[in-house]
Amino acid sequence: MCDTCVVLSNATRHGEAFFAKNSDREPNEAQYLTVIPAQDYQAGEKLRCTYIEIPQVNHTYQVLLSKPYWMWGAEMGANEYGVVIGNEAIFTKVPAKKEPGLTGMDYLRLALERSGTALEALKTITSLLEQYGQSGNCSAEHGLYYHNSFLITDGKEAYVLETVDKMWIAKKINDFYAISNAPSITTEWDMVSDDLIAFACEHKWCQNTSSFNFAQAYSDFLFTKFSQGCERRCYVMDLLEVHRDKIDLSLMKQILRSHQLHPQDSYPDRTLTAWNVCMHAAPGPIRNSQSVASLITQYRKDGIIHWTTGTSAPCLSVFKPVWLSSGLPDIGPQPDHHFDENCLWWQHERVHRSVLRDFPTRHMLLEPAIADLEKQFQKMVDDLKTSDEQSRFKFTKSAFAMEKEQYSNWLSLLEQTPHQHRNAFYYNKYWQNNNRKAGITV
């Protein structure tokens, strides 16, 4: 489960635009950052996506992706033209298909590689969707099948696109918008596939076009209710409305790090059902995923900066700046579902899982250090306004190194702090099992 939001420049403090997303997946489903260069292809070449092949285009654009280790597609990403996309799982009355096909993450990467504007990205997804549909398992360890919604922006325009099998509906965003794990478009839209409304009328989910409400007609009650997607989306939308015209980078970080929808999540072992924007997994079928990676894109007047974590738990991670034009430095090997002491995601995961042993106490210990690093990065970014690409590349490399240098200090600090909270036994058992599977010692 995930949360994504976009804010256009007319609603922000400094005339910037923003995109922000947390990707929620299973605890050992490591995610990694990668830059794929622009490439040319010969006519007739095929492209292997996660499960199936489709025709390749003649040219693909350079992309920055944050992607689960095992799939071709991505949870979120950006391209060289400033198009940024995030997707969400949504559950509808139309069962998601299980046979191998194109997944929502595949569509996200396809759109980034093939589209120069937000509107082009929307059209790329919908044209392919009408041809191939969407299907296939979206989980590394379990069976998880769903339809998808997308937030798409290029900093100037933004769209929300929501899909059901081969059908779709889309709306242009005026100021800001948030999506979560529930259909969000209701009675207002700008584009719709030919058969979406007719299909709903045929199944008696609405009476006619004038009474059509997409979310009401198509939303699945059970999965939508227990994912708490409507509540999380409303929380983010309310927060953006309260801060309208004052929205800045600090607020976007605050949103992705938020536990405020369910404050009892300060004790993540005490609830098995409560979801927050910043998620920490717990045992059981309802809340078995965590925020494994985060991305904020900042459209500044002097260029586009992608603030990335490359690690789980945004409340315990440092957002580091990446300029796609200058590239991504070597941040270590690509992770998989087993612990690797040389891998950035797993190095940070030792910190994260150590904090979970006494979250209420240990979480607060790291907040000052994280804030200090981000303050340093912000000052350095401001000083780099007119710098060349080589300087930006060196700074990105330095930012990742500065964070990694802190991990051993943070682990020592955590271990030296006496426990003040004892986790529920089933919660400890759950994490012991995850750690055993991954081969990680905490």
Q: Is 213 helix (H, G, I), strand (E, B) or coil?
A: coil
Half-sphere exposure (CA, 13 Å, Cβ side) for 195? 8
Please give the full DSSP string across 93-108, using - where no structure is assigned.
Answer: SSPPB-SS---HHHHH
Residue 195 CA, distance from chain mean position:
30
Q: CA separation (Å) from 145 to 99, 148, 183, 229, 231?
A: 10, 10, 16, 16, 22
Q: Is 182 helix (H, G, I), strand (E, B) or coil?
A: strand
Measured in Å, how far apart are the chain's first and last C-alpha atoms?
25
- CA dist 313 and 338 (Å) reads 18
- CA dist 146 and 404 (Å) reads 36
Contacts 24+ apart (CB under 8 A), 382-388: 385/302, 386/302
Exactly one of 2, 5, 49, 278 is catalytic; which is it? 2
> Which H or E run includes 202?
helix 196-202
Nearest to 308 by CA among 242, 374, 389, 225: 374
- CA dist 198 and 354 (Å) reads 52
Residue 183 CA, distance from chain mean position:
17
- CA dist 254 and 105 (Å) reads 26
Which two structure tokens, joined as six digits, stand for 261?
Answer: 């929808």
CB-count exposure of residue 436 (10 Å: 0-12, 13-18, 19+): exposed
Is 2 annotated in the active site? yes
Sign of CA dihedral 24, 25, 26, 31: negative
- CA dist 4 and 21 (Å) reads 4
- Measured in degrees and rounded to the nearest 5, phi and psi for residue 92 equal -125, 175
- CA dist 223 and 162 (Å) reads 16
- Measured in degrees and rounded to the nearest 5, phi and psi for residue 168 equal -160, 165
CB 37 within 8 A of CB 70: no
Active site residues: 2
